[in-house]
Each structure stands twice: as C-alpha cells, then as structure tokens.
Amino acid sequence: MKKQLLLISFTLFLASFSLNGTENKIKSSTQETKVTICTGNSATKYHKTNKCRGLNACKGEKKTVTMKEAEKWGRTKCKICYKQ
Ligand SMILES: [Zn+2]
C-alpha cells in the first residue's frame, strides 16, 4: 500500500515536471514570434501586422523582427493590434 502511494506521488511529480516543460516551450516560441516595429525615434510599440494603422505615423523604416528583439528595442505591445 505504501509503495503504491509512493508511485502515485512520483507520477504526479513527473506530470508537473513535464507541464513546466511545455510552459517553457510556449514561452520561448512566443519570443520567436515575428512582429513589425518602426525604427523611427518616436515609435514605442511593436505590431502584430505591418498593416496596422498604428504604423501609419511611422517616420522611420518598418522592420520585421522577433518579439524578443522588439523588446530589446524597448517596444511594447501595440494596443490596436493586440486587443485584450
Ligand atoms: Zn499595431
């Protein structure tokens, strides 16, 4: 009986471990998502699509980068194309 309990807790441990692994995978794939940024000085957002009207005011160059790179540029999510 005791042995069985140990096995169950071990299985639960493994299950939670693999769940964490999946979570990390999702997180890293989000980081690889391509977004569009404007390289202009006044731009502060990154966009899901290069057709976003938030890019109309862009004075610089439109550039496709990963979400990770966009964050390095100090960009935050555009409220127009990332509606919550
Ligand atoms: Zn946008």
Q: Tens digit of pLDDT for each residue in 70-82?
A: 999 999 999 999 9
Q: Return the structure tokens found at 19.
A: 């769940």
**Nearest of 76, 77, 78, 43 to residue 58 by alpha carbon:** 43
pLDDT of 18 > 90? The answer is no
Residue 37 C-alpha to ligand 1 middle, in angstroms? 9
Residue 49 C-alpha to ligand 1 middle, in angstroms? 7
3-state helix, strand, coil in the chain (%, to 5): 45, 20, 35
> Rounded to two decimals, what is the model's pTM?
0.64
Where in the chain are the domains? 1-31, 33-77
CA dihedral 36, 40, 42, 47 (to 10 degrees): 0
Residue 38 C-alpha to ligand 1 middle, in angstroms? 10
List beta partners, residue 76: 45
Which 8-state DSSP code applies to residue 6? H
